[in-house]
């Protein structure tokens, strides 16, 4: 399918909003899982996938650090979305009637003040907008939803409160995936670039310190470093990294030379334009 972008979640979710904000002319395809969103791209039914990777409050998105290195897709961009949540109820419902609040685990964790204030029981749902759909289907005034703006109209609910998130700076970073292609050269990318890669260090003392030393000595800004176990062994550790710069730039060339000396595997997952949000 031409001009389509896949995302995990229900219509009206934050991932859906990110798709509409970044690619307003694309059709958005909801998927039940991240793997399903990847499959939409590999099958050709969608050109792109919009995947959340980290949040300023909740940290990294669960499972992504293991799923991304396993996919054949390539990161071609990033997008930052300001996260907002509204409290939704069935028509005529009130906050005084509510006893349970349903939403994604991250949304519940990002709206703790409201949940405590009204003594609501948090109930984890698979998706923020999906919780709004469920509340509408249950038609029970004791059950409310924390969902993004727009979900109320989409599912026929009343809005009891707006912007109820604890922190107004709450932001999620998404990466945009496409079929693997030759990495874009420095000349093909206008402005600042970001490089995402994974590596495995040799199982020797100070290997990680030495592997990353080249980025420090060459003045490269590392904005993300995540570790995770592979193969069910505590000794086998992979690292996922984002750095600001392009692999063709001299400092990056030197840093990668030093990295490869202390690692058994290095794989670049994408080289893409830095979102303007990074400079705010």
pLDDT at 234: 61
pLDDT at 58: 74
pLDDT at 217: 95
For residues 162-168, give the mean pLDDT.
Answer: 92
Distances (CA, A) of 183 to 15, 31, 247, 252: 26, 27, 10, 15
- Cα atoms in the 13 Å half-sphere on the side-chain side of 116: 7
Which candidate in 38, 85, 128, 172 is catalytic?
Answer: 172
Q: What average pLDDT does the structure give for the chain?
A: 92
Which candidate in 26, 34, 85, 174 is catalytic?
Answer: 174
pLDDT at 201: 84
pLDDT at 190: 83
Beta-carbon contacts of residue 38 (< 8 Å; ≥ 6 apart): 6, 49, 67, 71, 73, 177
pLDDT at 99: 97
CATH of domain 4-83+170-178: 3.40.190.10
Could you tell me which residue, 206 or 203, shows the higher pLDDT? Answer: 206
Q: Give the residue extent of every domain in the chain.
A: 4-83+170-178, 86-161, 191-279
- Which range is most confident: 20-34, 48-62, 221-235? 20-34
Distances (CA, A) of 111 to 57, 93, 129, 141, 165: 11, 20, 15, 20, 5
Q: pLDDT digits over 225-250, tens only?
A: 988 776 666 665 789 999 999 999 99
Q: What is the pTM of this model?
A: 0.89
Active site residue 172: yes
Architecture of domain 191-279: 2-Layer Sandwich (3.30)
Active site residue 239: no
Does this chain's domain 4-83+170-178 share its CATH topology with 191-279? no
CATH of domain 86-161: 3.40.190.10
């Amino acid at each position: 399918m031409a001009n389509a972008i896949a995302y995990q979640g229900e219509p009206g979710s934050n991932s859906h909003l990110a798709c509409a904000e970044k690619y307003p002319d694309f059709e958005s395809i909801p998927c039940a899982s991240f793997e399903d969103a990847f499959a939409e791209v590999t099958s050709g039914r969608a050109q792109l996938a919009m995947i959340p990777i980290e949040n300023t409050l909740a940290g990294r998105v669960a499972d992504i650090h293991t799923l991304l290195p396993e996919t054949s897709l390539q990161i071609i961009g990033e997008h930052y979305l300001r996260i907002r949540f509204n409290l939704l109820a069935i028509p005529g419902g009130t906050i005084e009637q509510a006893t349970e609040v349903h939403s994604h685990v991250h949304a519940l964790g990002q709206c703790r003040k409201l949940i405590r204030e009204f003594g609501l029981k948090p109930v984890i749902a698979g998706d923020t907008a999906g919780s709004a759909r469920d509340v509408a289907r249950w038609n029970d005034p004791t059950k409310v939803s924390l969902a993004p703006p727009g979900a109320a109209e989409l599912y026929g609910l009343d809005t009891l409160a707006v912007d109820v998130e604890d922190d107004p700076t709450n932001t999620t970073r998404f990466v945009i995936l496409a079929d693997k292609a030759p990495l874009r050269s420095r000349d093909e990318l206008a402005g600042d670039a970001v490089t995402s890669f994974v590596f495995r260090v040799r199982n020797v003392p100070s290997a990680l310190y030495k592997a990353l030393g080249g980025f420090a000595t060459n003045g490269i800004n590392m904005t993300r470093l995540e570790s995770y176990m592979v193969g069910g062994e505590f000794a086998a550790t992979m690292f996922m990294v984002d750095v600001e710069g392009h692999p063709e730039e001299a400092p990056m060339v030197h840093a990668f030379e030093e990295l490869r000396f202390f690692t058994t595997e290095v794989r670049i997952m994408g080289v893409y334009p830095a979102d303007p949000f990074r400079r705010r």
